[in-house]
Amino acid sequence: MADPVPVIRKLEHALADDDFAWSMLLVGEDQADKLATLTADLRGPFSATGDGKRITSGFSYWGIAPTIAWANATNDPFYLVMKVGTESFLRHWRKLLPKVQNGGFHLVSLGIGTGVKDRTILGDMRRNNPDMYYIPVDMSSEMLRMGTLEPVRGARFPVSQVLPVQLDFSIEDNMDELGQMLARLVGDDPILFTLTGNTLANFENDEELLDTLTRALRPQDRLLLEVASTTRLDQETADAAADEYHQTRAFAEFVTSALRYNTDLKISNELVRFVGEVEDDDALLVKILWRNDTGEEIRMELPDHTEVVLPVGDTIRLYTTRKYSTARLKRLTEACKLTPIEAIQSQFRYARRANPFGLELLLLAPEAAGEATHTLADDIWSV
């Protein structure tokens, strides 16, 4: 009797000439566990400052309604970080490309977004490595399905070399398992990990996330990190950062969508607050909150059909984001033992007056890579 053909290989052939919108997905987590986590987070204690009940990063994009809301927000010209990031990425990426153009890199995209940036990276890298794999990783299977369309259909990247992975990469054990799986998949070939779109800033503990991601990097791997930046650190600038997000209605619809999708809370945008503050003297933190300013107690039903009481003044943190100073980026990368190989920085130029906000695109290597870039690193952090 002939040996059985592995189902994955047989499936690849079965779908080769099928124009139906199939998409393959490797699911790494029990979705019931994720729902239990979200429910527990929404049972947090009373807080007037958004530090009790919360929707943590990842859940903001979890489910089809938040995914659609995110897609709509990305097309809003008033969502400046997204708009400027999309417009400037090609120019910035091409300056970094020579550092990862050769050597046979594969691409692991952490937090896929719209897939537009991945399309650019894949189009350039595949010219030198036609056999490369593309592995987008996201907690939201809906985001994976939407985001992979752009590289696969837009850049005609072969479906047979794409492996979307549903996984919350902010969890240490998950990242360890992902690293082991990738090593078995690509062997000693180098991997370019990407965390673009200011995703790092959306996590409450950004250093913890960056350290978790660094654990998966081998000496031959690299990390492409894109963050929003600021050249000023004061309350006036923090308020301006909050206003930047407040001026787009599509963004407000996005940050409230996870709460609308998973609870029965009736949300008025008039109860959504955008609060800016200076964090640790080296970053601007923007917290987006729903606050019960109705003057009366509200009851909210959770996904497990239990109720939570929301007293007057209680809050639910909907979203967290930041703008980083050079000092904060230096502190983070040094704490996580990452060495900058190259950095591209640009400022927003939409206003008549000088604007403190911009974007940074960093190519980083793990300390174990032994890159002799200390002089370059000093140059980068002295900017």
Mean pLDDT over all residues of the chain?
91
Q: How many domains does the chain have?
A: 2
Residues 271 and 331 in one domain: no
**How would you classify the pairing of strands 191-195 and 283-291?**
unpaired
Domain of residue 94, CATH code: 3.40.50.150
b/e code 250-262 from CB counts within 10 Å (16+ = b): bbbbbbbbbbebb
260 found inside a domain: yes
Q: What is the pLDDT of residue 131?
A: 94
Q: What is the pLDDT of residue 11?
A: 81
Q: What is the pLDDT of residue 383?
A: 58
180 found inside a domain: yes
Please report, for residues 289, 306, 309, the alpha-carbon distance to residue 300 in angstroms, rounded to integers and kept in the order given: 16, 8, 6
Q: What is the pLDDT of residue 68?
A: 94
> Which value, to the nearest 10 degrees, does the dihedral of the CA atoms of residues 226, 228, 233, 239 take?
-160
Residues 228 and 244 in one domain: no
Q: What is the pLDDT of residue 381?
A: 67
Residues 208 and 336 in one domain: yes
255 found inside a domain: yes
Give the residue-averaged pLDDT of 161-177: 95
Give the residue-averaged pLDDT of 187-208: 96
Residues 183 and 107 in one domain: yes
**How would you classify the pairing of strands 222-230 and 272-279?**
unpaired
* Rounded CA separation 207/194 (Å): 16
Residues 167 and 179 in one domain: yes
Give the residue-averaged pLDDT of 165-172: 96
| pTM confidence score | 0.92
213 found inside a domain: yes
pLDDT class of 176 with cuts at 50, 70, 90: very high
Segments forming the whole domain that contains residue 269: 235-322
Residues 73 and 158 in one domain: yes
Beta bridge partners of 230: 357
The neighbour count for residue 378, using CB atoms within 10 Å, is 11
* Rounded CA separation 60/318 (Å): 8
* Rounded CA separation 253/73 (Å): 8
290 found inside a domain: yes
pLDDT, one tens digit per residue, over 14-23 is: 877 777 878 8
Residues 82 and 161 in one domain: yes
pLDDT class of 300 with cuts at 50, 70, 90: very high
Give the residue-averaged pLDDT of 88-106: 91
Q: What is the pLDDT of residue 195?
A: 97
Which of residues 23 and 51 earns the better pLDDT score?
51
CA-nearest of 66, 7, 85, 78 to 247 is 78
- Among residues 292, 322, 352, the one where a domain terminates is 322
Which of 109-113, 225-229, 279-283, 347-351 bottoms out in mean pLDDT, i.e. has the lowest? Answer: 347-351
12 found inside a domain: no
Q: What is the pLDDT of residue 200?
A: 97
* Rounded CA separation 164/327 (Å): 35
pLDDT, one tens digit per residue, over 348-380 is: 776 666 789 999 999 999 987 776 555 566 666
365 found inside a domain: yes
What phi, psi does 139 have (nearest 5°)? -75, -20
Residues 255 and 227 in one domain: no
**122, 107 in Cβ contact below 8 A?**
yes
User: Is residue 144 helix, strand or coil?
Assistant: helix
Provide the 8-state DSSP code for 288. Answer: E
State the DSSP string of 224-257.
EEEEEEES--SHHHHHHHHHHHHT-HHHHHHHHH
Residues 370 and 272 in one domain: no
Q: Mark residue 111 as left, alpha or beta (left: phi above 0; alpha: psi -120 to 50; beta: remaining).
A: left
Q: What is the pLDDT of residue 308?
A: 96
Q: What is the pLDDT of residue 187?
A: 95
Give the residue-averaged pLDDT of 92-101: 92
Residues 246 and 110 in one domain: no
Residues 292 and 332 in one domain: no
38 found inside a domain: no
Would the pLDDT of 6 be above 60? yes
Q: What angle do CA 56, 57, 61 make, to 5 degrees?
A: 115
* Rounded CA separation 95/89 (Å): 10
- Among residues 300, 322, 344, the one where a domain terminates is 322
- Among residues 302, 322, 342, the one where a domain terminates is 322
CA-nearest of 21, 282, 266 to 153 is 21
Residues 264 and 354 in one domain: no
